[in-house]
Amino acid sequence: MLSYWERQSFTGYDHIVVGSGIVGLSVAIELKERFPKARVLVLERGLLPTGATTRNAGFACMGSASELLADLENQEEEVVAGLFLRRKAGLDLLRQRLSDDDLGYRADGGFELLGKEEVGVLDRLDYLNALLRPLLGCDAFLPAHARIGDFGFPKNQVAGLIENTCEGSLDSGKMMHSLLLLAMSRGVELKTGAEVLRFEKGTDSVTVAVQDAFRREALLLKSKTLSICTNAFAAELLPTEDVTPGRGQVLITEPIAGLRIKGIFHYDAGYYYFRELDGRVLIGGGRNLDFEAERTTEFALTTLIQEDLERKLRELILPGQDFKIAMRWAGIMAFGPTKAPIVKAFNGRVFGAFRMGGMGVALGSQAAKELVALIVRST
């Protein structure tokens, strides 16, 4: 049962966005930029965003050399270069939208560690740089062996180091808080604890059913458009879409005196990532140890991966140094048969931007912009 006032003022919108990760908030901000008078509502099922964006590692990255070379084995050069450029454009857009202070953005450098069996990647840097230089105007990858010792990595494990010149790091918590404040300052409305259960497209509008625990019946909202930005959870609302969840597990140490690493680091073809953060080391990855078990939307930790992350700290990143683990957590990514995101108009009213893979921090703002361009075209 609704009151007259509730029905008049709280159930009708111009644009509803589902999901308040980086993509959902960016779509809402972009919609307000294009349609300043429109009522834009974001619906988030968690009290906090509860997917990937507030649980990630904060790498502002576009792809390491070995990841790009692996992609080039089964995709055309222009497809791989095009996705790299979309990530770069997304990061540029994010940094235009929010100041580096608001993002906690730091250009401390991005690096890729190569094991003995991976040093062949160094021979292909000229090829990769030639592919990307026309798009970037500079070389994306530089050999940086001289710095292996500076960071204290054991030379018997790290046979090569590459500097990724386009990358930086940011503070994902600050970024999302700033993005939220920006959205609210533009007049975007947000409801948390509001899980979208289903939707139905009508002729003039979409009806969106939202869980309302207190009223014990779904609240029905109407909107001219609906944008689904729920990443790994997109198939719950769009069952025909090819989205595979991938859990990412992370841990962070207590502050470490005399820490030598600075910047962000990729290891083992991108399956591991670590960085300095507030004088601590944050490390994540290891999905490749058990792909099957990590293909899940369950926010849980496993002994197998957590112990492996600790081993990487002991043997690779902090050999001979004492450290304590401060926190551990997991987030859920979304993957598909290719690394390209899905950005799509399902019909004239229902749209979606999801399946951001492992580089949604950079890609997210660009995917949102592309989605809103589709909405603009359809109106």
Ligand X SMILES: Cc1cc2nc3c(=O)[nH]c(=O)nc-3n(C[C@H](O)[C@H](O)[C@H](O)COP(=O)(O)OP(=O)(O)OC[C@H]3O[C@@H](n4cnc5c(N)ncnc54)[C@H](O)[C@@H]3O)c2cc1C
* Shortest CB 115 distance to ligand X, Å: 21
Which of 63, 168, 270, 360 binds ligand X (CB under 6 A)? It is 360
Q: Is residue 164 a contact point for ligand X (CB under 6 A)?
A: no
Q: What is the bridge-based pairing of β-strands 110-114 and 264-267?
A: parallel
CA distances from 113 to 5, 73, 147, 150, 157 (A): 60, 21, 11, 13, 9
Stretch that binds ligand X, among 76-84, 110-118, 151-159, 330-338 (CB under 6 A): 330-338
Closer residue to ligand X, CB minimum distance, 90 or 160: 90
Closer residue to ligand X, CB minimum distance, 42 or 146: 42
* Shortest CB 272 distance to ligand X, Å: 11
Distance CA 35, CA 376 (A): 9
Site for ligand X in 120-149 (CB under 6 A): none
Residues 6+ apart with CB under 8 A from 131: 77, 80, 81
* Shortest CB 117 distance to ligand X, Å: 25
- The residue ranges of DSSP E strands in the chain, in sequence order, are 12-18, 40-44, 59-60, 110-114, 141-143, 160-164, 168-169, 189-192, 196-201, 206-210, 219-228, 244-253, 264-267, 272-277, 280-285, 325-335, 342-345, 350-354
Closer residue to ligand X, CB minimum distance, 41 or 250: 250
Closer residue to ligand X, CB minimum distance, 37 or 238: 238
Q: Is residue 362 a contact point for ligand X (CB under 6 A)?
A: yes
Q: What are phi and psi of 291, to 5 degrees?
A: -55, -40
Q: Is residue 63 a contact point for ligand X (CB under 6 A)?
A: no
**Element spanning 22, H or E:** helix 22-34
* Binding residue count for ligand X, defined by CB under 6 A: 46
Q: In what order do the strands lie in the sheet with 264-267?
A: 141-143, 160-164, 110-114, 264-267, 272-277, 280-285, 244-253, 325-335
Which of 57, 69, 121, 317 binds ligand X (CB under 6 A)? It is 57
Distance CA 30, CA 24 (A): 10
Q: Is residue 342 a contact point for ligand X (CB under 6 A)?
A: no
Site for ligand X in 244-273 (CB under 6 A): 248, 250
Q: How far from chain centre, in Å, is Cα 242? A: 18
**Element spanning 39, H or E:** none
* Shortest CB 59 distance to ligand X, Å: 3
Stretch that binds ligand X, among 64-72, 128-136, 227-235, 294-302 (CB under 6 A): 227-235
Q: Is residue 230 a contact point for ligand X (CB under 6 A)?
A: yes
Residues near ligand X (CB under 6 A): 18-24, 43-46, 49-53, 55-59, 61, 195-196, 229-233, 236-237, 248, 250, 284, 331-333, 354, 356-362, 364
